[in-house]
Amino acid sequence: MQHKNDEQTHFGYKTVNKSHKRELVADVFDSVATKYDLMNDLMSLGIHRVWKANTIANSGVRKGQKVLDVGGGTGDLSQKFSKIVGVEGKVILSDINQSMLKEGRKKLRNLGFINNISYVQADAEHLPFPDNYFDCVSISFCLRNVTNKEAALRSIYRVLKPGGRILILEFSKPNSQLISKLYDTYSFNVLPILGKIIAGDSESYKYLAESIRMHPSQDELKQMMLQAGFDEVKYYNYTDGIVALHKGFKF
């Protein structure tokens, strides 16, 4: 009989023990942390900034509110939320990876964001915050790396206030076969080369490409959110579905 801690999951296209995946994902982001922002700009030709701006526009966040940026990494969303909520509000940038959190804190402090952003190393599956606490929770390009996505969704649901909103920005499934084929060619041939040249690491970017393909489709993720308790779940495809924004509420 297989021990619960030895249950299998995927790490890209590989099958690994669930207990081992966290360590493998940590190695990836330890490796890419210092070049993460540069690689984002190169990989997406800067379009990730538009995706994130649309996420902020769908957040409904207002002055004085509390926002949690789960897996917030280098803080692109956190700095935007910080400007909106102002000194009366609060933003928490959380990430399970210490290297990414360190890069995010350094970047935002250098930009002058010191008054209303806190930094917490935390596991998305077990968020260390009170029930019914946040007005909005975002999770951007992080959920596909979480071992137990259902547990993470339930954890986010718990810490949201009634009426609060979840925003999931993540790579998804392209709508057209042509775009899908071009995207595959780019992801598995160009992306690892870029990773090797810029970050000195092709294997981590090979994993990132694989992890995107293993992530649930738009409709599958919508169903997972509904099962976690969220209402009025909708999604918006960006760049032909290469990326999707899922939005839901806690009532």
Give residues with Cβ within 8 angstroms of 220, minimum separation 6: none
Q: Is 151 known to sit in a ligand binding site?
A: no
Q: Determine the residue type at 179.
A: I
Q: Is 187 known to sit in a ligand binding site?
A: no
> Is the distance from CB of 18 to CB of 7 less than 8 angstroms?
yes
In the chain the beta strands, taken as DSSP E runs, fall at: 8-11, 14-17, 66-70, 90-95, 117-121, 134-140, 160-171, 231-238, 243-249
3-state DSSP assignment of residue 68: strand
Looking only at the bridges linking them, the beta strands covering 8-11 and 14-17 are: antiparallel
Question: Distance between CA atoms of 31 and 6, rounded to whole angstroms?
Answer: 26
Give residues with Cβ within 8 angstroms of 53, minimum separation 6: 80
CA nearest neighbour of 238 among 39, 48, 61: 48
| DSSP 8-state secondary structure symbol assigned to residue 228 | T
Q: Is 76 known to sit in a ligand binding site?
A: no
Q: Is 74 known to sit in a ligand binding site?
A: yes
Question: Distance between CA atoms of 65 and 89, rounded to whole angstroms?
Answer: 5
Q: Is 124 known to sit in a ligand binding site?
A: yes
Q: Which residues are annotated as a binding site?
A: 74, 95, 123-124, 140
Binding residues for S-adenosyl-L-methionine: 74, 95, 123-124, 140
